[in-house]
Every structure is written in structure tokens, then in C-alpha cells.
Structure 1
């Protein structure tokens, strides 16, 4: 089976005339994605693959390097006030958006305020500490905070710090045609087929960017994605299946990149989301959710689906993080699961429906869980759905439980606050615990690592009791790359960075 990427083979052979009149071949990088991105609006986007596109399309206020240290982006310098309640950003001059509009402090104010007030914004809880934005001069802006926020700079390295052109954004359909200031500008999109970006000739730092076009092609099936890479129809693919790692490493025409994982896969329980509050035993009683978690053998899941290459999880903090809580991974305990169901007054089997992305690996994970849970007292029906649709259903509360992944963030706040806080924009199950909220907020307000870890330890231990989310494993986002691609560096956030990447013929 070949995807429509063959359409783009001709693009790499297009002939253009350079300034000297000498014919030049247009260079095209073709990237195979594991799913079609959702909305191309940084304020409302939720998908991991959408972040691939934003990395090429939208400059951010700050960025991270390969060691997760924060480095300049559109902000060249920053400083905190003595009480850590004001962040001053000095902005890069000479930057323009893709439509020619000037980037300045007013643009920063517009974007931050939009993230905070736009209905449906999934950035709102990430930067909820911001109380106001002050334009000091054309290239100086101050973010005034309600309280100190140790995670704020880290949040600005991602979509919360992505800058859209205010004029075009205010009057246009952002998701259909985003206007940013990155090295590549939006050209076109065919849903479920391709997203095309073209080089932005007025970019403030053009030298590291070598492609005339970047084409993103969603191919949900991992085996098809790899087959198209091996056939030369793609140049780089994300998320190689663990079972295909050997195939990639044995192919002299391919290379493998496996960054340290920050992301995780989980099962989210709908506790209180939806027009009518869920009334299922899963929503009503934590013992039922604990029983579901105990029905899963995480070690066996890792071996069966991932050939032992993934790491079982019981929390959002990978064991490479200084904030990892040293709690043993729970062993599968069918007898205890059944006892918990009985104590909750549930007659087995309990019929539940789990929403699952229509990706082969996710389906395999769900099927293994389905089989395990059948022995623990649950009759699990699986609903396979396209990834963007799944995200929409999560937001609206149209689910009982769902398989949900997160690609991970450099700061621990980015891996837990939005998902667990009562006011978190990504808290799809509407879990709410006042004490947990206090711990999470306190962890945002403290810079001391030991004190923050103590607070996150409290949260993780409480989550084992309340079980709003059953964490399954940490997932390395493994890349496979054509040997023709040079200069690709995998970052721990598992995103595609195109600076200094080239393609030999």
C-alpha cells in the first residue's frame, strides 16, 4: 500500500530560476506523521503532531536546547522581579510575520491575552498565573503574575509562546490559515492528506533553513509509514513501532533516533465531564477505577506490544526526571480488582466503553487491555476513532474512558497541572480534589527543586488513591530517517527541528 506521498515526488524535481537566472531544483522535505494534526491554531491545538507543524511555522518567545535548557527565541533576554511576580521580556527586533505585519510587544500582548480569553483555549491553564500584560516600549513587554510561577518560561517554549500575526488572526480563520513568523509559512492543507509549508523569504534567521517546501503527510499505520520511508516516498517519519526498530537498524539506507522519553500513555476516566454528569460506577467510585488499573499487567503490556523497549509507568514523571516519584509499578492483581468491585457494589462484569485512536499500535494496546480486563471483572468495548475526533470527544466529555497520550514537557508542571488541576484545560475527566489543587499551585510558585518534588510526591501518591488517570507507560518517540537527511538532532521533547537539516540527492 502506497500513500499519496508519491504525488510529491515530482515536487523535488521542480526547476526554479534563482537570482542569477541559473536553474535550481526545488528542495522538498517529506515528513510522515503518525496522525493528522488537529486545529492549526496554537491556542486550541492539542495534538502532538500539530506541534511538529508549529515548530516550523511559528516562532516562540523562548525555546529549549538539546539539554532542555531554555534559550532565546523571539525574546532575546528575560528577567524576573525581586518577588518573582513580573517577567520582563526583551524582544528581537526586525522580525515580521508571514503577511508582513511587524512583530513587537503589542503582538506579544495580543497573543498572551488571546490564549487567556479565547473560548476553547487549551493554553489558558498553562499560563493562568498571568494577570496582565504591559507594553513598556515597542520591544519590551512585562508579564505581571498573580503569583510566582516556576513553570511559566517552560510553557512559553511551546504553543503558549507561539506568536500569531494579530491583524490576520483577528479577522481570519486561524485554524485554516495560520499566520506566524517562523522559517516556513502556511501554503495549503488537505485534511487527512497533507499540510504544505513553504520557505519564508523574509525570515530573520534564514541561513540554517535549507528546504523550499516541507510537506507533512499523516500516515496512521506505522508499518505503512515505514514502508513509504524505505521506498523513498518519505524522508523522515515519527513514532516508529517498537517491533520495527530492528528493521530500521538493519537497513543501511535508514538511521534511527530515539530521544529520552518525556511523554506517556494513559487511560483517562470520565468522572464529571459532559452535559449530564456521568453516573457510571467508574465515575462514582474510585475503587472501581483502582480495580481497572489493577487489572492491567504493565510489564506484560510492554513486552507484548513494545518488545520490552518502553518503560511501565504509574505517574506522569519519567524516571529520567528529577521529579520522578519512586513508587513501585503496581503488579496486576485480579483478585484484589474483583474484591474492590464487590466492595463498591458492582456486579461483574461491568460493561464499559473505551475510546481509542485508530492507530494500529494504540489499537493493539487497547486490545491487550481489553483481554486483561475481562479476567478482572470488566467487559470493555472499544470505539476506534480518528485522533482529532478523539481529542474533540475528550474535550466535550463524550467518553467513559479513553486511551490518551501526552508527548511530555521539560518542566513537570507541563505534564500534570493541565490534566489534574480542577481548572486544568486538559482535565478531560473533570477530576477535582481541593488539596491536590493546593499542592499543584504551590509547586508552580516555588523554584526550589526539593520543595517542588515533595509537593509533586504528595500529588502522585494521592492520584494512586483517587485514580482519575491510570498511567500505562512512558513512550519514546522513535524517529526513522533516510540516510539522505543530514543534521537532524533528536531533542527530548521529540519534536522536529529543521535548523541545519539538509537533504542530499
Structure 2
């Protein structure tokens, strides 16, 4: 038995004692939110939600990381994503899409007001689109990369035109990171979005205690929830998000009753939660692209596709995931199995073959080794760096296992824990050899977001292509997929992209992530937001 195998098996044995095995299931939101509960809803009370990460700021049009998980109570979207390829009305009552998927015309509700009293209308939507499209605002959402422009047709009709076709645009704008913000705040006091946000949602911003909590109070005038939810204002008086990045502390908040709802129960506590009769829980195997190692193709050694292929095949992905997630999460290919457009009959899957990895590194010229056993070429060690957020325990466990496997290949991988705010900056300026992250969105368009040559940060807009890959063949396939209005044809093109990606090896996919949420037995009406899969809390009430 090698030292790598011993470490891996020891870790797996510890995992079995701690957590056992979690069977993953995906839940579907159906045509509208499912707010089933026991008894008649009652009003009142505060809901305390423990979450893993605190947003760097509160502007949903800029930040699509932690902010998307805590801003949904205060902002509404134009449409609701049913999670099955269909959409329901929300701030928009109906819409038309051009045949080439570049023009979207929305008819808007006429009874909506922002929390500052400003009427919601077509001009408000245009102001939001203009803000996202302005390079100075550095919007990280994919909408900015589509080059959107908005035209006011009349007071309650607006047309959004895209520079390039996007057949899944409705999914993008259904997500909370495109929640509509007050045009007065955007134009007159945009700096205030760093610490507060004015939307149209069922709750109003109250206070943010940095490092501790974010509190909202009920919007008593609210009466425009998405189709399928209850009429009128929220049942709860207020809602508080507690920022608890430490996994055990977050789990303890559930056990002690400090939190009514705990989001992202860590995998090591999955078995306890499943067996717990005192709390309810539900999990969602997140669609999109799971936890992945993005290889910076702009820098050596990953500018050499042979080196990228060596790492892709030389890492024991199953062993890494088993050890890091306690067997709770499944290994994935380039898309999670719950993603629309995932190719069920994928032929070009990623294989684990250490001998092949060694042959590829020899072929790339890394034939010598130094005194510490790392490969060397022209006097330079085969080495790279991986920054990660210093409060992300799962990332640390995963990357430590990656480091072990890489060393066995003769690859020196340095782990660099950094503050979460710095991690986000690294992601968008390319200051890394490998960037590890995950992106959850219910569309195969994720492949364009993460591997499209025209979705690279270029100074004029922020891109999500963390590997900086630019491959003409792949770009051509993705362009056809994004312009196709036929779901079957679109899935075929995204399937071709999934078959091609292992050859290009811009990244090493590791695992799909299960979002396990648990709540106290007196919490009713919790459902899921499918556009950016997360708990949806508007219908929640406490008995």
C-alpha cells in the first residue's frame, strides 16, 4: 500500500465513523414554489437563518457569491424559474422572445413599488440593465457579458436586447443576483449599495452587523409574490441571517435552537441530520458545475495542454472526494447530473490513470526530479499555487487531498489560504495557478460561462472563465447551443461540448455539491428557488 493510499483509506475510515453514507436526492420545485405545511399559517415572529458566508457587499447586481444567498428576501426578479425549463410570472406578467434569442420584451406589473416609494416600471428595469451593462460597475453576473441594452416601449413594457444570443436568458434574470433594485438608489446613491439595498421584495433592509448578522423586517405593502405563493405580505415579522462560517458552529445552532433554519449543513453531519427526529431537512443536488479545479491556461505550466491532461488523469478524483466529503457528495464530470442539458450517455469520461499521467508529463519534458521528488524541466520545478478562502473547511480538506495526489505525480502544489474577500479578487484577476470554486445554476449555459473564450475578464467586463480557455471549436459549439430555441437541439450541442472538454482539460471537475438544509419542527412553508438553488422563505411561518 502506498503512503497516498494509506492516508486516503485512513481518512475514509474516520469518515465512516463520523458520518456514514448520505444518499443524495434532487428535489424539484415544479411549476411554482411548494409551500405545503401543517395547519393554517399564522403571522408573526422572527426567523433566524444560519448561513455559511457573509457577502462582501449588498449590491445584487455586482456580487453573485454570498450576496445571492441572503438578498432574496429584499429583491424580486422579473420571472420565476419553475426548475423544469418553464417560467412563471413575477414582476413581469408576460414576455416575448425573438426567434434568434437576442430580444426579450417584458410586460410588467403596474401595482409594484420599491421600499423607498418609487414606482416599479419599465424605466426602473432599464436603469438596472444600464447599471449592469456599464463596465465601471464591474458586474460579475453573466448578464453583463451578454452586452444587454434596454428600450422603454411604454410605461410598463420594456425590451432587452443582447449582443449575442442566449436561449436561457430567463434563467439568468430569475436569479436573485439580478433582483431589481430601486432606480433612485442606483442613480443617486449607488455607493450605499455597499451596505444596504432597496428592492421591491417581501422584506425591507433593517441592519447589517458586519461579521455577525443581517436583519430584514416585513414589507406590509407587499402583494406580488411569484405565481403559486400566497397573496399579501409575508407571514413573518422579520428575518435574521446569522453568519456562521465554521461548520460545527452552524450545525450546533440547529441542535441548540439558536437558528430556526440552517443552510449548508456540512457533509460530516449529514447522517446525524438524516436520523434526527426533532428537525426536518431537505437536500438539493445542485445543478451546474460542481467543485472544480480551474487550471490557468495563461500561465506555465498549464499553458501546455499535455500538462493539463496529466493532472486531469493523475488525480484520484473518487478518492479525493470520498475523503474530503465523507462520502456524501458524488464525483462529477463537467456538468452535474441534475443540470438541464447534462449528457446522459457521455462517452468521453474522465479516467484515473497514474501511468498515463506520468507518460504525459514525460512527453511534456518533465522527465527529471529534484531531491524532494518533484519533477523538473530546464532547472524549474513543476509547481503551482491554489488560493482558497481561509474560512472554507471543505475546500481546505479537498485541496489537501489534491496536494497529496499531485505530489505523487511529482507536482508541487502550494495551498494559499486567503481572506474570503481576497479570494473573490483573485478569481477575477487571474492571480493563481489553480482556482477552485463551484458554480450552481440550472442551465447548461454554465459551460459557456466557465469555458467560453468570450467570457474572460477583459477590463471592460468581468468574466467567469477562470481557466481563460479560448478554443475555437468549443466556442463554436457553445454559440450554437446558446442561440438554439429548440431544447433538444440545444442539449445536443451542450453534449458535444461535454465530450470535447476532457481533451482540452481546462479544469479538473471534482464533486457535485448537495445543499442540505435543516430546520426546526415549528418552521413551515419552506421551499426552493430553482434559478439559483437555495431555500425560498417568503411562504415560511412559525407555529
Fold match by TM threshold 0.5 = yes
- The change in CA–CA distance for 1:29 and 1:386 in structure 2 (over 3 A counts) is farther
Cα separation, 1, equivalents of 2:158 and 2:243: 38
- The change in CA–CA distance for 1:33 and 1:144 in structure 2 (over 3 A counts) is same
CA contact (8 A) 1:123 1:159 kept: no
- The change in CA–CA distance for 1:68 and 1:470 in structure 2 (over 3 A counts) is same
CA displacement at 1:386 relative to structure 2: 3.2
| SS state at 1:259 partner | strand
Deviating beyond 6 angstroms after TM superposition, the runs of 4 or more aligned structure 1 residues are: none
For residues 321-360 of structure 1, the aligned pairs below 5 Å read 321-324=340-343, 326-327=346-347, 329-346=349-366, 347=368, 348-349=374-375, 350-358=382-390, 359-360=392-393
Is structure 2 residue 173 aligned with structure 1 residue 142? no
Query: Which structure exhibits the higher relative contact order, with contacts defined as CA atoms closer than 8 Å and separated by 6 or more residues?
Result: 2
- The change in CA–CA distance for 1:131 and 1:65 in structure 2 (over 3 A counts) is closer
Query: Unaligned regions of 5+ residues in structure 2, if any?
Result: 1-41, 225-230, 369-373, 376-381, 456-462
Query: Unaligned regions of 5+ residues in structure 1, if any?
Result: 1-23, 273-277
CA displacement at 1:307 relative to structure 2: 3.6
CA contact (8 A) 2:198 2:204 kept: yes
| SS state at 1:97 partner | coil
Is structure 2 residue 171 aligned with structure 1 residue 154? yes
Cα separation, 1, equivalents of 2:449 and 2:494: 14
Is structure 2 residue 394 aligned with structure 1 residue 361? yes
Cα separation, 2, equivalents of 1:84 and 1:304: 44
Q: Which residue of 2 is the match for residue 440 of structure 1?
A: 478
Is structure 2 residue 229 aligned with structure 1 residue 229? no
Query: What's the CA shift string for 1:3-50, capped at 9, x where partnerless?
Result: xxxxxxxxxxxxxxxxxxxxx996211111111123321222131x32
For residues 272-421 of structure 1, the aligned pairs below 5 Å read 272=298, 278=299, 280-282=300-302, 284-318=303-337, 321-324=340-343, 326-327=346-347, 329-346=349-366, 347=368, 348-349=374-375, 350-358=382-390, 359-406=392-439, 408-413=440-445, 415-421=446-452
Deviating more after overlay: 344-353 vs 438-447: 344-353
| SS state at 1:478 partner | strand
Q: Which residue of 2 is the match for residue 42 of structure 1?
A: 60
CA contact (8 A) 1:38 1:46 kept: no
CA contact (8 A) 1:356 1:383 kept: yes
- The change in CA–CA distance for 1:131 and 1:260 in structure 2 (over 3 A counts) is closer
- Tell me the TM-score normalized by structure 1: 0.87
Cα separation, 1, equivalents of 2:43 and 2:232: 18
Is structure 2 residue 68 aligned with structure 1 residue 51? yes
CA contact (8 A) 1:183 1:199 kept: yes
CA displacement at 1:381 relative to structure 2: 1.5
- Tell me the TM-score normalized by structure 2: 0.81
Cα separation, 1, equivalents of 2:141 and 2:512: 26
| SS state at 2:265 partner | coil
Q: Which residue of 2 is the match for residue 423 of structure 1?
A: 454
Q: Which residue of 1 is the match for residue 205 of structure 2?
A: 186
Count residues with an aligned counterpart: 471
Q: Which residue of 2 is the match for residue 218 of structure 1?
A: 243
Is structure 2 residue 220 aligned with structure 1 residue 198? no
RMSD, matched Cα: 2.3
